[in-house]
Amino acid sequence: MSKHADQSLKDDFQFDSDDDECFFQDIDLLQAQGINVADLNKLKTAGIFTIKGIQMMTRKKLSAIKGLSEAKVEKIKEAAAKLSPDSEIKTGLQVAEKRKFVFKVSTGSTQLDKLLGGGIESMAITEAFGEFRCGKTQLSHTLCVTCQISTDDYSGGKAMFIDTENTFRPDRLKQIASRFDIDEDTALENVNYIRAYSSEHQYEILDKVAQKFHDESGSFRLIVIDSIMALFRVDYSGRGELADRQQKLAQFMSKLQKLSEEYNVAVFGTNQMTADPGATLSFQADPKKPIGGHILAHASTVRIYLKKGRGETRIAKIYDAPDLPEAEATFAISEGGIIDAKE
C-alpha cells in the first residue's frame, strides 16, 4: 500500500498514531454540519454513537426515537453522508486497504488457528456450534484471555462477555491467564461481563455495549455471546412463534454485525444443535444441525462445527466460510484452556 493511500485511510477513520486507537467517527462531528447537541444526545440514548451507526439505521427507526421528526432525521442522514468515507463507491483495492485493519484473535491452539486462517476474525461473526462438552464455552473463555495478548498485527485489548446461560466462570479465566503468564486480576479486569435474562434483554444489552465501546474507544477486541440462541429458544416456542422469533433474531444478529464493523472487534458466538427430522430422508451422515435456521446461517460469517474426538480431543470443522476451505483440525481442552491435541 502506498504511504499516501495509507494516510488517507487513517484520516477517514480518525486513527491516532497508536495503531487503531479510534476506528470510528464520533457523531459529535455532526455539530459542524448544523446538528444540535440535544438531537445528538437523543441518538446516543438510542445507542447510536458513530457516523456509521447512523448510516446503519433506517429513517423509519430513527424517526421512532423520541424527539426526532422526519425532517430532523433527513437532515441528520444528509450530514452523516457528507462526513462518511463509506458513502462513496470504492475500488477493490481501496477495500483491501481498509481490510488491513482486520486482525485475528488466537484460539490458543495453533492447529485451530491454522484452520481459521489465523484465528477469530475482527469485523465478522464467528459461530461455533456443537453438542454439550465439545469445547464451546472453553473456547469462549480462552478467547477472553488471548484477545488481551498483543501480537505483531495488533495490540491486545478487552473482551465483552454476554452470558445467556450462566456459563461464565472467573476462576476458569484465572487458570487460562496463568498459562499465558498474565496477571490473574489484570485478566479479569479486562473482561467486561453482563448477564442476559431474556431475548429482549439480550438485544437491549447491545446498546450498553455500544456505549462502552464508544466511551473506551479502541480498548475492546472481542465480544463473546454464550450462547446466541438459548434465550430465543426459551422465549419463543412452537411453530406459531417461529416467524416472530426469526425476525427478532435477525435484528439481533444485524446489530451485532454492525457493532463488529463499527468498532473493529471480533465477535464469537456459541450455538446449540437439534435433531434434523429430515436427515433420514436425505441420507445425511449426521442427523443433527445447528438451531437458528437460515437467519443465523446467513448472519454468521464463519461457522465452525465442534464435536468430540477420541479421549480428550475435540474436532473442529469449517462448516461455512467466505474465504476458508472445508477442512478439519483437532484440539484439546486443558487446565490452561484450548491447546493443540497431542500427536
3-class DSSP string for the chain: CCHHHHHHHHHHCCCCCCCCCCCCCEHHHHHHHCCCHHHHHHHHHCCCCEHHHHHCCCHHHHHCCCCCCHHHHHHHHHHHHHHCHHHCCCCHHHHHHHHHHCCEECCCCHHHHHHCCCCEEECEEEEEECCCCCCHHHHHHHHHHHCCCCCCCCCCCEEEEEECCCCCCHHHHHHHHHHCCCCHHHHHHCEEEEECCCHHHHHHHHHHHHHHHHHCCCCEEEEEEECCCHHHHHHCCCHHHHHHHHHHHHHHHHHHHHHHHHHCCEEEEEECEEECCCHHHHCCCCCEEECCHHHHHHHCCEEEEEEECCCCEEEEEEEECCCCCCCEEEEEEECCEEEECCC
280 plus 329 within the same structural domain: yes
**Residue 52 shares a structural domain with residue 81:** yes
Domain boundary among 41, 68, 95: 95
Q: Do residues 138 and 281 both lie within one domain?
A: yes
Q: What is the pLDDT of residue 245?
A: 87
Q: Are residues 55 and 179 in the same domain?
A: no
pLDDT of residue 302: 93
pLDDT digits (tens, 9 = 90+) for 243-278: 898 999 999 999 999 999 989 999 999 998 876 655
Same domain, 197 and 178: yes
Of the residues 95, 111, 146, which one is the last residue of a structural domain? Answer: 95
Task: Please say which residue of 80, 95, 110 terminates a domain.
Answer: 95
Domain harbouring 80, CATH code: 1.10.150.20
CA distances from 84 to 53, 76, 89, 110 (A): 11, 12, 12, 38
User: What count of residues does the chain have?
Assistant: 343
Between 188 and 2, residue with greater pLDDT: 188
For the four alpha carbons of 187, 180, 162 and 45, in that order, the dihedral sign comes to positive
Residues 212 and 120 in one domain: yes
* pLDDT tens digits, 74-102: 999 999 988 877 767 889 998 888 888 89
Report, as an integer, the average pLDDT of 195-212.
94
pLDDT at 129 (0 to 100): 93
Say what the pLDDT of residue 19 is.
Answer: 41
| Residue with more model confidence, 9 or 3 | 3
Please indicate, yes or no, whether residues 114 and 23 belong to a single structural domain of this protein: no
Average pLDDT across the chain, whole number = 86
Residue 306 pLDDT: 94
d(CA 18, CA 123): 20
| Count of domains for the chain | 2
Query: What is the CATH classification number for the domain harbouring 320?
Result: 3.40.50.300
Question: 208 and 319: one domain?
Answer: yes
Contacts of residue 7, defined as CB under 8 A and 6 or more positions apart, other chains included, come to none
Q: Check whether 336 has a pLDDT greater than 50.
A: yes
What are the residues facing 226 on neighbouring strands? 163
Same domain, 111 and 52: no
Residue 109: Cβ within 10 Å count: 27
Q: Is the domain of 327 the same as that of 200?
A: yes
Q: What is the pLDDT of residue 23?
A: 62
Q: Would you say residue 195 has pLDDT above 60?
A: yes
Residue 287 grid coordinates: 442427523
pLDDT over threshold 60, residue 207 = yes
- pLDDT score for 21: 42
Mean pLDDT of 280-298: 69
pLDDT band with cut points at 50, 70 and 90 for residue 3 = very low
> What's the domain range around 43?
3-95
pTM above 0.85, yes or no: no
- Same domain flag for 84 and 189: no
The pLDDT value recorded for residue 178 is 96
Phi/psi at 242 (5° precision): -65, -45
Please give the pLDDT value at position 201: 95
Q: Are residues 207 and 172 in the same domain?
A: yes
> 150 burial class (0-12, 13-18, 19+ CB within 10 angstroms)?
exposed
